[in-house]
Structure 1
Amino acid sequence: MADEDQTVRIDGTLKFPPVAGSLEPPTQGDPGRRRLLKRGLIGAGAVVGALALLYGVDLLLSQGALPRGTTVAGVDVGGLSRADAEQRLHSALDARIAQPLKVRAGDVDTTLDAKSAGLAADWPATLDQAGEQPLNPFVRLVSFFDRRESPFVSKVDESALDKALQGLKVDRDPIEGTIRFDGTTPTAVNPQSGQRLDGAAARRAVVDNWIGGAPVTLPVASASPKVSADAVREAVENYAKPAVSGPVTVKGDGKDATLQPATIAAALGFSPGDNGKLAPKLDHGKVVEALKPQLASTEQQGKDAQVVIEGDKPVVKPSADGRGVDWDKSLAGLPDLLSHKDNRVVTATYAKQPAKLTTEQATQLGVKEIVGEFTTGGFAADSGVNIRVVAEKVNGAVVKPGETFSLNGYTGPRTAKQGYVEAGIIENGAPGTAVGGGISQFATTLYNASYFAGMADAGHTEHSYYISRYPAAREATVFQNPDGSSVIDLKFTNDGPTGIAIQTIWTPQNITVRLWGVKRYQVESVPGERTNFVEPQPRPGPAHNCHASNGGPGFTATDTRVIKDLTGREVSRHTRKKVYDPAPKITCG
């Protein structure tokens, strides 16, 4: 027989051992215990019935009202009717909706305008969600003691929201570290991280949180620089400082050149390398600019072939090859050499330098006859000096088939160093002077020669004010900055199958430009009537060096170029229109 503290199965029933302080499950053979169980069940039923009655009453009483304990965007609307809840939400949230939405993306704090970003409240949907009565008894019981946040539903114009997010200017590329030289002293410039807005996640963050009243955090992805700050400092110590520790000697044929630390510092730059370190970048142009004059006497200059006119006949002047420093080969080992403080010597490598236009090439250009020419005159003596200098420079220039001739590009800087002098110009409608004045007359003459040769116009600009010695709407001006950079240029393209040689003939009275090649066209200029005249207005001149002027009227002019082949068949017709400003009347004193 089993002990009393064990459970024993008897006739399919279980007998539980007695436990101190507990009720022993009643058995069929224990009437007292059966009565106790019956009373317990009746009591439990009464409790359940009471709870069910309470649940039903609560459910009936809450019909037509929002569930107890409900909040929307932090606003308590529990127990209110739908109309009252909407009114309370408007009172609490309308001002919040109208305020700029504060957002933070990485290290950028800014704002969004909800309306411009396509955000608006969907009040019916918001109240529908808030008004759903919970049927779970436990949930309804908990609602007496807790709050339930119901979602605020938004209307979203996604395209407007995307546009607004893109306009936040959150994205920032990482800034790579580098090395800056103050004279010959290198200084580390530390890198800075960048960031990129996560568009999809940012859109979700705004839609979910814009009504909450607190700043919205927009997710960003960090963009790291390729080179660390430690790598920058390492480059300063191991490369930049040795690079400017002393001069570099370049040994030429019979003469040496010296590359000074200041030039090295000015020419030395750094960029991220593939190995996570800074890689030095040497500006060969600056290095060559410093070394070339020092080794110029060791080089032999070459000469391009020219087509010159002798006795009204084109003659090819032969080319000559030169011998000079091959700077690419000579400087190839310089970047590695700069990391050392000792044995800083480079040996210059010399190479043959062929002419850009050889004798054979010039002969094959087929230049044999005048294809276009033009003459202008009436210039002052000082302007005549500049016209002569530029004419001598351009005389003999060759334009190969398919090439474009640029007057500014061919002459280079036109300064006193090249022999130009101060001469008259028109500046803002008033007479003035400048070094190189008068070059526009040569430009007009060259333009007209190319015009009648049938060359393709590759870009020209007329004067702002009409000058009577030039054909209206068929003239050109040029201008350069003091450093020789082009501002207003004259260009034409040789679109024919043979070459073009430029001949210039200067006299103290006039300048003639002839283009030689193989004649393909007959060209006619058809000037239009001048219209829309505008009278000049008076204007006081400068206090110093004033030149009085009667001015001149402004007007509109046209010119039509008609190109025909040698049989007289029209090939093309083009009209150019020019509106000339009135030149003001300048009064002095």
Structure 2
Amino acid sequence: MTTASDRQPTVRLPQQATPTHDRLPPGAAAPAPPAAPKRRRLLVTGLTVLALAAGAGAAAVWTLHGDIPRGVTVLGVDLGGRSRAGASAALHTHLASDPAVTAPVQLTVEGRGARLRPADIGLTVDVDATVDAASRGRPSLFGTRAVAPIVTVDAALLDAALRQAVGTVGTSMRAPAVTFTGLTPKAVHPRAGRGLDPRTSAQALKAGWLSGTAVTVPLAELRPATTAAEVDELVETVARPAVAAPVTVTSERGTLTIPPAAIAKSLLLTGDASGRIVPRFDPARLRAALGPQLKRIEVPAKDASFAFAGGKPTIVAGAEGRALDLAGLAPRLLETVTSTSGRTVAGSLTTAAPATDAADLQRLGITEKVSTFTTKFPGGLSSPRSQNIIQAAEQVRGALVLPGKTFSLNKHTGERGYRQGYKDAPVIVGGHLQPGVGGGVSQFTTTLFNATYYAGLKDVEHKPHSFYFDRYPAVIESTIFWPDLDFKFQNDSPYGVLIDTAHTSETITVSVWSTKVWDKVSTEWSDRRNVTSPPTITKPDGPSCIATGGLPGFTQDAWRLFHKGGKVVKREKFTWKYDPEPRFICS
């Protein structure tokens, strides 16, 4: 049966928490907390963890983006988050504009300064290596991490530049050596020093460059690699046995003997830059020490040359020779002189090519006669003066002057004395004509000078006569006297110059063969000025007195004109003052 109270709506009030001390009997346990609040706390905590994890993940993604970790800088350039290519490009751009990188670097060595350009010593930042170093290490969410650039430098170039800039510094290291006085070996003991060391200098520069201050380069101790005891041992085991007796060299063309003196001159027992001694024979010194002995078994090569046929130069091919292979002999010779098994070593002959072959001469471009000049000599071929002229001409015929080289008549003929076949003829000595060996060669000199003059070649040295002789062109003529006066010209053309000479019973001619550089070379003379009359001088009669009629003195100019393309493109002035030739009377 339903009552009225059953029909009333049911109202559920929130349950009120009852203080524990009010409701629990003494000794009773506290009831468990309600389940619903616990689930809510777990849900909030989970959501918080998920939020933090999501944030951390996003931060990690941001931090690890790119090949270079976030926060990494090089020389102030932020490379973080970039790819390797992007970091490399950014660093290259910065280095190209950074004055600290491109400006000369200041170094000091024992108080001496040096300013060196980075490009001259191979000083640079290795961008690839620097980017590689920047890519390593942990990323940073906060702050930055500076990575030092990887610097490279050419230690050899740096060392050479420093030595040139600061000169000698420190104390020199005495290199060890064994020297010979005659056949007696002498030990030179090493001594340590202090000086520039390429590796030490390079390390200091790499560490101090880009710091904004001068780089101090320290000196290093330079200690020779060979000790004093080792030098003494070389004296006893190498030097003394080497010069104890001659060595016989056998070959297919016979034998020769290397005397102990030649061994002493060519055996090298000197320390290198590090002070290390490696005994060896120097082939060039050995060849010089053997000298004429080599002629017994060697056949010299013959260079290609020019010969004149039909008035024109032709090329005569060279020929190969046979030479003792001293470079190959040297190691075997060292074994022989330091062993006790004998003093004989087998040598071999190799082909010796000519120093100049036909192709070399062909490339010189000697194709045409570019100038010729003739003077007339008095007295005929039988006179000593004419014979001297002809002899000098024969010595000069066929002379080849390569581009850029200078020809010296004195050097080419050597001394022109009695032993060389020259005779006495009139020469000017101290303003007087008197007999002298080689008289007349000045006429050949004048002829040669004019031939090279009209070929347009550079005049290096010449001196006109003191007196004027009408068989020569005024001003542009030259005398010569051994060894004080010389005639020199330079081949300033890009082609070879070949000199030809010829004579008749009355004339001497010099021709220059080459390739023409100028269309024409001509001369213009000024009028004579400051003309002076000759004095009359009486001299005692005898062999040293040569009577003359006397000639006036004067001053005159001559201009050498170089023609090209139908016009004068260059002028060269020569001026000379002639003394009056006295009228000498022999009485």
**TM-score, normalisation: structure 2:** 0.50
The answer on 1:501 being equivalent to 2:498 is yes
Query: For 1:8-31, what per-residue CA distance to the aligned partner results, in whole angstroms no more than 9, with x for missing partners?
Result: xxxxxxxxxxxxxxxxxxxxxxxx
Question: Structure 1 residue 562: deviation in Å?
Answer: 0.7
Q: Aligned AA for 2:463?
A: E
Question: Structure 1 residue 316: deviation in Å?
Answer: 1.8
The answer on 1:452 being equivalent to 2:454 is yes
Q: Distance in 2 between matches of 1:493 and 1:524?
A: 19
Tell me what 2:561 maps to: 562
Equivalent of 2:521 in 508, 520, 523: 523
Q: Aligned AA for 2:462?
A: T
Q: Distance in 1 between matches of 2:232 and 2:584?
A: 63
Q: Aligned AA for 1:421?
A: Y
Tell me what 2:405 maps to: 404
Question: Structure 1 residue 291: deviation in Å?
Answer: 3.9
Tell me what 1:3 maps to: none
Query: For 1:391-416, what per-residue CA distance to the aligned partner results, in whole angstroms no more than 9, with x for missing partners?
Result: 3343234456x353524598364577
Cα distance change, pair 489–188 in 1 and its aligned pair in 2 (3 A): farther
The answer on 1:251 being equivalent to 2:250 is yes
Cα distance change, pair 358–172 in 1 and its aligned pair in 2 (3 A): same
Cα distance change, pair 242–366 in 1 and its aligned pair in 2 (3 A): same
Cα distance change, pair 495–262 in 1 and its aligned pair in 2 (3 A): same
Give the secondary-structure state (helix, strand or coil) at the position aligned to 2:509: strand
Question: Structure 1 residue 585: deviation in Å?
Answer: 11
Q: Distance in 1 between matches of 2:297 and 2:418?
A: 21
Q: Distance in 1 between matches of 2:536 and 2:179?
A: 54
Is the CA contact (8 Å cut-off) linking 1:330 and 1:349 kept in structure 2?
no
Written as runs of structure 1 = structure 2, the 5 A alignment for 1:135-146 is none
Cα distance change, pair 194–273 in 1 and its aligned pair in 2 (3 A): closer
Is the CA contact (8 Å cut-off) linking 1:179 and 1:188 kept in structure 2?
yes
Give the secondary-structure state (helix, strand or coil) at the position aligned to 1:272: coil
Cα distance change, pair 179–559 in 1 and its aligned pair in 2 (3 A): farther
Is the CA contact (8 Å cut-off) linking 1:523 and 1:561 kept in structure 2?
yes
Tell me what 2:319 maps to: 321
Written as runs of structure 1 = structure 2, the 5 A alignment for 1:90-129 is none
- Identity percentage over the alignment? 25
Is the CA contact (8 Å cut-off) linking 1:320 and 1:355 kept in structure 2?
no
Tell me what 1:9 maps to: none
Is the CA contact (8 Å cut-off) linking 1:465 and 1:554 kept in structure 2?
no
**TM-score, normalisation: structure 1:** 0.50
Q: Distance in 2 between matches of 1:435 and 1:286?
A: 41
Question: Structure 1 residue 294: deviation in Å?
Answer: 4.0
Q: Distance in 2 between matches of 1:187 and 1:248?
A: 22
Q: Distance in 2 between matches of 1:427 and 1:173?
A: 55
Give the secondary-structure state (helix, strand or coil) at the position aligned to 1:388: helix
Question: Structure 1 residue 513: deviation in Å?
Answer: 0.4
Is the CA contact (8 Å cut-off) linking 1:562 and 1:570 kept in structure 2?
yes
Question: Structure 1 residue 434: deviation in Å?
Answer: 7.7
Give the secondary-structure state (helix, strand or coil) at the position aligned to 2:563: strand
Tell me what 2:462 maps to: 461
Q: Aligned AA for 2:501?
A: T
Q: Distance in 2 between matches of 1:241 and 1:502?
A: 54
Tell me what 2:373 maps to: 373
Tell me what 2:38 maps to: none
Q: Aligned AA for 1:246?
A: A
Query: For 1:543-576, what per-residue CA distance to the aligned partner results, in whole angstroms no more than 9, with x for missing partners?
Result: xx977899999875543101113x5311210113
Question: Structure 1 residue 356: deviation in Å?
Answer: 1.4
Is the CA contact (8 Å cut-off) linking 2:250 and 2:256 kept in structure 1?
yes
Query: For 1:248-295, what per-residue CA distance to the aligned partner results, in whole angstroms no more than 9, with x for missing partners?
Result: 334344232223223344455654324524566747256346345542
Give the secondary-structure state (helix, strand or coil) at the position aligned to 2:513: strand
Is the CA contact (8 Å cut-off) linking 1:395 and 1:502 kept in structure 2?
yes
Is the CA contact (8 Å cut-off) linking 1:376 and 1:511 kept in structure 2?
yes
The answer on 1:272 being equivalent to 2:253 is no
Q: Aligned AA for 1:340?
A: T
Give the secondary-structure state (helix, strand or coil) at the position aligned to 2:498: strand
Is the CA contact (8 Å cut-off) linking 1:188 and 1:236 kept in structure 2?
yes
Q: Distance in 2 between matches of 1:476 and 1:174?
A: 55
Written as runs of structure 1 = structure 2, the 5 A alignment for 1:283-298 is 284=284, 287-288=287-288, 290-292=290-292, 294-295=294-295, 298=298
Q: Distance in 2 between matches of 1:435 and 1:360?
A: 39
Query: For 1:9-64, what per-residue CA distance to the aligned partner results, in whole angstroms no more than 9, with x for missing partners?
Result: xxxxxxxxxxxxxxxxxxxxxxxxxxxxxxxxxxxxxxxxxxxxxxxxxxxxxxxx
Give the secondary-structure state (helix, strand or coil) at the position aligned to 1:333: helix
Cα distance change, pair 443–571 in 1 and its aligned pair in 2 (3 A): same
Question: Structure 1 residue 480: deviation in Å?
Answer: 6.9
Is the CA contact (8 Å cut-off) linking 2:301 and 2:322 kept in structure 1?
yes
Q: Aligned AA for 1:362?
A: Q
Question: Structure 1 residue 524: deviation in Å?
Answer: 1.4
Give the secondary-structure state (helix, strand or coil) at the position aligned to 2:476: coil
Question: Structure 1 residue 354: deviation in Å?
Answer: 3.6
Is the CA contact (8 Å cut-off) linking 1:252 and 1:295 kept in structure 2?
no
Q: Aligned AA for 1:372?
A: T
Q: Aligned AA for 2:422?
A: V
Q: Aligned AA for 1:316?
A: T
Is the CA contact (8 Å cut-off) linking 2:452 and 2:489 kept in structure 1?
no
Is the CA contact (8 Å cut-off) linking 1:248 and 1:346 kept in structure 2?
no
Tell me what 2:356 maps to: 356
Equivalent of 1:511 in 508, 513, 521: 508
Cα distance change, pair 360–259 in 1 and its aligned pair in 2 (3 A): closer
The answer on 1:345 being equivalent to 2:342 is no
Cα distance change, pair 364–179 in 1 and its aligned pair in 2 (3 A): closer
Cα distance change, pair 471–585 in 1 and its aligned pair in 2 (3 A): same
Give the secondary-structure state (helix, strand or coil) at the position aligned to 1:421: coil
Q: Distance in 1 between matches of 2:187 and 2:436?
A: 45
Cα distance change, pair 229–527 in 1 and its aligned pair in 2 (3 A): farther
- What residue ranges of structure 2 are gaps of 5+ in the alignment? 1-167, 196-218
Q: Distance in 2 between matches of 1:334 and 1:427?
A: 61
Question: Structure 1 residue 493: deviation in Å?
Answer: 0.9
Is the CA contact (8 Å cut-off) linking 1:175 and 1:225 kept in structure 2?
no
Query: For 1:57-116, what per-residue CA distance to the aligned partner results, in whole angstroms no more than 9, with x for missing partners?
Result: xxxxxxxxxxxxxxxxxxxxxxxxxxxxxxxxxxxxxxxxxxxxxxxxxxxxxxxxxxxx
Give the secondary-structure state (helix, strand or coil) at the position aligned to 2:450: helix
Cα distance change, pair 259–421 in 1 and its aligned pair in 2 (3 A): farther
Give the secondary-structure state (helix, strand or coil) at the position aligned to 2:452: helix
Is the CA contact (8 Å cut-off) linking 1:255 and 1:298 kept in structure 2?
no
Question: Structure 1 residue 514: deviation in Å?
Answer: 0.9
Is the CA contact (8 Å cut-off) linking 1:385 and 1:420 kept in structure 2?
no
Question: Structure 1 residue 521: deviation in Å?
Answer: 2.2
Q: Distance in 1 between matches of 2:520 and 2:443?
A: 24
Q: Distance in 1 between matches of 2:187 and 2:252?
A: 39
Tell me what 2:302 maps to: 302
Is the CA contact (8 Å cut-off) linking 1:372 and 1:451 kept in structure 2?
no
Cα distance change, pair 373–585 in 1 and its aligned pair in 2 (3 A): closer
CA-atom RMSD in angstroms: 5.3
Equivalent of 1:391 in 390, 393, 400: 393
- What residue ranges of structure 1 are gaps of 5+ in the alignment? 1-168, 197-220
Give the secondary-structure state (helix, strand or coil) at the position aligned to 1:396: coil
Q: Distance in 1 between matches of 2:324 and 2:434?
A: 46
Cα distance change, pair 195–360 in 1 and its aligned pair in 2 (3 A): closer
Q: Distance in 2 between matches of 1:285 and 1:586?
A: 59
Give the secondary-structure state (helix, strand or coil) at the position aligned to 1:445: helix
Figure out how many residues of one structure are paired with residues of the other and give that number: 385
Cα distance change, pair 570–225 in 1 and its aligned pair in 2 (3 A): farther
